[in-house]
Amino acid sequence: MVIGFLALLLCQLAGELLVVWLELPVPGAVVGMLILLSLLAIRGEAPASVRQAGEGLLSILPLFLVPAGVGLMLHFQLIAANWWSILLALLGSTLITMLVVGVLMKCSALNPGEQGETHER
Amino acid sequence: MSAKPLLESPLLWITLTLAVFCLAVWINRKAGRSPFLHPVLVSLSIIILILLWLEVPYQTYFSGAQFLHFMMGPAIVALAIPLYDNRQRVRRLLLPVLSATLTGAVTAAVSAVVIGYLSGADRVLMLTLAPKSVTSPIAIGIAEKIGAEPSLAAGLVLITGALSCLFAPFVFRLLRLNDHAARGFTLGVSGHAMGTAYAFEYSALAGAFGGLAMGLAGAFTAFFLPVLLPLLDWLPG
């Protein structure tokens, strides 16, 4: 468990370092995710400790979003001044995105009858 | 006055956040898991009210709660695990999955920015709208990178997730999209973790594809948004 958590932190640290060295505009943790994905692919399995630490974190991920979300209180004026624009953008864009992806799915190989192995969650 | 050191210690704010989150999970369950009473939305509303009532500035709260915020980093890294678990499916359906993720992620960001622009949003607001379909931890990371407002971005992400769940039955009926993998994927691209949670209610297959779509779309968006941003300067006005 501790080793698994250490592995996650090391991947993130490596990601952050790459972002600084290569001046990438991407969040370091996303690069860390790609590093972990490559390591898992090379190893051919997810070690139990990494799975335990990772799935533990993912199961309470919403909790970690709260501190940043509370920061909304700093933006009441921005929201009040732009609520119409924000509402329109969110409603319109969400509908357009779902229709576009839905149509692509409809035309793609993801057709009825496609069966995959069941997910482990 | 004697409580002042307590206000400056992380203990109070982490305890408050956990307690309110537990309450919010309970409320959400009582409300039949409505996406509009998502635990994160409920938690942040309650905590904001408490802070306003106690006249505690956000900075004081965050100086303690940042330890929870920090855990988001390793959690993003951990998203590699469900992605890895789905590798066979991805390999089999590489072309449709990649093209749908790319198109969906670009559509989500560009349509939000364009509608924002047309309805009079300023530059910071347009930047903040751009990552709205990306799972919140990645969206917050992107917002910090591109000079948007991270906490507003997180809020918009949550609302987008709720809207995606709300639109899902209508969109699926309109397109006669009955396959669970396709439904889950559509929900994941548009509604990230909240869409994925909703997809799990169709089936485990739908949920797995939702999680896959969320991870891929998040990673793609993190890479292409900073590249597309200079285009904003071409917009008239």
pLDDT digits (tens, 9 = 90+) for B102-138: 999 999 999 999 999 999 888 999 999 999 999 888 8
Q: Residue B222 above 80 pLDDT?
A: yes
Task: Give the pLDDT of residue B237.
Answer: 58
Q: Residue A113 above 70 pLDDT?
A: no
A116 within domain boundaries: no
Q: What is the mean pLDDT of residues B153-168?
A: 89
Question: Does residue A25 sit in the same domain as residue A4?
Answer: yes
A95 within domain boundaries: yes
Which of B161-165, B223-227, B229-233 has the least mean pLDDT? B229-233
Under a CB-based contact definition with an 8 Å cutoff, are residues A18 and A24 in contact?
A: yes
Q: Closest CB to A93: pick one of B89, B108, B179.
A: B108
**CA neighbor of B140 nearest in space, from B126, B124, B123, B157:** B157
Flag whether residue A4 sits within 8 Å of chain B, measured between CB atoms. no
Q: What are the pLDDT digits (tens) for B61-102?
A: 999 999 998 998 898 899 888 878 878 877 787 888 889 999
Cβ atoms within 10 Å of B10's Cβ, excluding its own: 13
Distance, in angstroms, between B1 CA and closest chain A CA? 25
Side chain identity, residue A90: L
A55 within domain boundaries: yes
A93 within domain boundaries: yes
Dihedral (CA of B203, B27, B64, B48) sign = positive
Q: Residue A120 above 80 pLDDT?
A: no
Sequence ranges of the domains in chain B: 4-70, 78-234
Q: pLDDT grade, residue B3 (50/70/90)?
A: low
Under a CB-based contact definition with an 8 Å cutoff, are residues B153 and B192 in contact?
A: no
Task: Give the pLDDT of residue A119.
Answer: 40
Side chain identity, residue B186: T
**Helices and strands in chain B: count of H runs, count of E runs:** 13, 0
User: Of A97-101, B154-158, B162-166, where does the model show the most confidence?
Assistant: A97-101
Which of A20-24, A43-47, B55-59 has the least mean pLDDT? A20-24
CB-CB neighbors (< 8 A) of A53 in chain B: 74, 78
Flag whether residue B28 sits within 8 Å of chain A, measured between CB atoms. no
Hey, are the CB atoms on B171 and A99 less than 8 Å from each other? Answer: yes
Element at B131 (helix H, strand E): none
A121 within domain boundaries: no
A118 within domain boundaries: no
Domain that holds residue A17: 1-59
Domain count, chain A: 2
Distance, in angstroms, between B2 CA and closest chain A CA? 25
Hey, are the CB atoms on A102 and B116 less than 8 Å from each other? Answer: no
Q: Residue B167 above 50 pLDDT?
A: yes
Q: Is B134 exposed, middle or buried (0-12, 13-18, 19+ CB in 10 A)?
A: buried
Task: Give the pLDDT of residue B82.
Answer: 82
Q: What are the pLDDT digits (tens) for B7-36?
A: 888 899 999 999 999 999 999 999 987 877
Q: Residue A110 above 60 pLDDT?
A: no
Q: pLDDT grade, residue A92 (50/70/90)?
A: very high
In angstroms, rounded to a whole number, what is the distance separating the alpha carbons of residues A73 and A70?
A: 6
In angstroms, rounded to a whole number, what is the distance separating the alpha carbons of residues B92 and A104?
A: 17
